[in-house]
Chain A
């Protein structure tokens, strides 16, 4: 079946890099996403990668996609306290369906 898995918690020190990992099961996914949810708010798209790419860089964010292993990661360089949030991995499959992981709560210690 369709499933997206990610670890629930990650704690890093301010200034360090954070790496959030995700695995997915559906090989037909076209786009993979990272959404960010801040306390009391809805999800906002942080970045995405098309399934025929293996890396995408956007300022402090680096997305790596290993299609063979169905593994997606998000690296945040120079993590700041403002990066504390829940990060959701998601994959788009079919015409419109998006499957979300359970979310990884990132704690950034000052």
Chain B
């Protein structure tokens, strides 16, 4: 089991460029999430998905789009990158509460290793 993987690990963009971050999980999880981590601010939810073909906005969705065409993949897109989007991006996934293994009964989220994005 690879768990949750993210590509790329690092990226530097110029203002106005676009890119897509890819998250993949092999645990058959229904729920997937994109967070950003900034110093002193913890994790903030950007977008999430409760199943294939569905997405919803989180706490800080502006400037980002997402797609969940396959259950195992969750893509995060930046159409026109801005310096304020410099951050570390984490993908996470889990089962709905009470489903799956014992670990799902308390809704543990499984995180990828992160993508460090710098926008100049």
CB-CB contacts of A11-49 with B at 8 A, as 1s and 0s?
Answer: 000000000000000000001010000001111110010
Q: Number of A-B pairs whose CB atoms are under 8 Å?
A: 51
Cβ–Cβ contact A43 & B111, under 8 A: yes
Chain B contacts for A42, CB-based, 8 A: 4, 90, 92, 111-114
Cβ–Cβ contact A102 & B41, under 8 A: yes
A contacts, CB < 8 Å to B: 4, 8, 31, 33, 40-45, 48, 50, 88, 92, 95-98, 100-103
B contacts, CB < 8 Å to A: 4, 31, 35, 40-43, 45, 48, 50, 90, 92, 94, 96-97, 106-109, 111-114
* A–B pairs, 21, beta carbons within 8 Å: A4-B42, A31-B107, A40-B114, A41-B114, A42-B90, A43-B43, A43-B90, A45-B108, A48-B106, A88-B43, A95-B96, A95-B97, A96-B50, A96-B96, A96-B97, A98-B107, A100-B35, A100-B42, A100-B43, A101-B42, A102-B41
